[in-house]
Amino acid sequence: MHYRSTRGTDNHSALLFSHILLSGLAPDGGLYLPTSWPQISRETFNHWRGLSYPDLVAEILSLFTAGDIELDALKAMSREAYKNFSHAAIVPLNEVETGLFSLELFHGPTLAFKDMAMQMLGQLFEYVLEREDRYVTIVGATSGDTGSAAIEAFKGKKRVNIVILHPLGRTSEVQRRQMTTVLDDNVLNIAIEGDFDNCQDMVKAMFADSNFRQSVSLSAVNSINWARIACQIPYYIRSALTLGAPERAVSFAVPTGNFGNILAAWAAGQMGLPIRKLQVGSNKNDILTRFLLSNDMSVQVVEPSLSPSMDIQVSSNFERLLFEMLEQDPHRCNAIMQEFRQTGRMAVPHDAWEKIRENFNATCLDDEQTIQAMRHFFENSHYIADPHSAIGLEAGRQFKEADIAMIVAATAHPAKFPDAVKKATGQDAALPPHLADLFARQERFITLPNELAAVQNAIKAHVQNQ
């Protein structure tokens, strides 16, 4: 299996999985994608139904690591990655209303869906770095959950330094403390005086700076890294198989910010999983909903909300879908993305937009509607959902078809957002035992202005001190 960039200038060589794993972003600023989509037969789907979740992950990843990492090694890594999840099923399904299912992706160590991929990435990085005798510096931006999941997966790793940028004051306190109370020497937390898009732009700028990139051996584990998307595909396949696929089609609703999680569902469809519709759920930062409903991909001011992981106006992973809808033309994709960066408006060709609309629909909820959705599912189904998951559930409820199961990605544990849960349901959302003392733990982070040079200097100092 080989990979190419959505922007084309890095497509002259046959790149294997381990290369794109460690590099994250392509040198031309594009995102990596496989050169072709593996096709899964009905017989293989039916065989996979009987596998444990870790072994299913290994089987699916082996399609993307072919010629690079063997299946037996993937099985060993996957079993290690998921051994400490708190639910025996790892990704349990709950029927919240008739035909509306919550796919709970928050039973990992940091209580968010990011653990599903990040725990596996920790194993993959360790395997490849040991094999190649290399060291890297991982730099990532987080709107809430990616940072803590990445830190949990890479803390204490001897071949990795990890630096996470988060927007100052724009995560929940639980989200922040899950990052800043990890005191391992290889971890640096930086609070940026700005919003998530500022953090994300800064990470992209660091990757575009070839001298800096080489000086610290820069790598990435947020959803610009294809391996993250690949590791998210399995839970969509597992949930669909549980509900009758491949003989029956399903639909998915996903609370969506950076577009990576729902892109993984779309990728599963490209591989042969029968998917009727993909439903995007947005908060008041509704760029994806505006785009899907009226082809308006224009950046507006990011507004803080009850669902901070979706407080985004630039959905990085959308570029991968755009590339596919442009018939894999990297030059057109590059031109559109460059114009978007310069003008804040993405000129998606009408025919590409229509192709996207064949698979995707969207809705958005403001904060009051989010509280109402949380209250609805608690009062009618005794189900407590965090704000992100509630947006997904409401999106799924609005667009569910009578004869098609609607599976909703429940992306965070309600205890990560106790104030919103209390307001909506009157219930206290207690942290699990392993995080019960979170508010008593010592924090360590630095605050920096939204200035690239200041952040780069802090990262260099951190790496030199290791």
User: Would you please indicate which residues are annotated as catalytic (active-site) residues?
Assistant: 114
Q: Give the C-alpha separation, 163 to 153, whole Å.
A: 13
Contact 220, 203 (CB under 8 A): yes
Q: What does the chain come to in residues?
A: 466
Q: What is the per-residue DSSP string for 67-99? A: TTS-HHHHHHHHHHHTTT-SSTTSS-EEEEETT
251 sits in which H/E element: strand 250-255
Tokens of 425: 């349901």
Reduced to 3 states (helix: H, G, I; strand: E, B; else coil), residue 113 is coil
Contact 56, 48 (CB under 8 A): yes
CB neighbours of residue 466 within 10 Å: 12
**In this structure, what are the phi and psi dihedrals at residue 353, rounded to the nearest 5 degrees?**
-60, -40
**In this structure, what are the phi and psi dihedrals at residue 281, rounded to the nearest 5 degrees?**
-115, 125
Q: What is the per-residue DSSP string for 157-169? A: -TTEEEEEEEETT
- Rounded to a whole number of angstroms, the distance between the first and last alpha carbons of the chain is 35
| Rg, the chain, Cα only | 20
**221-to-11, 142, 164, 218, 390 alpha-carbon distances in Å:** 21, 11, 10, 11, 26
Contact 363, 282 (CB under 8 A): yes
Residue type, 170: R
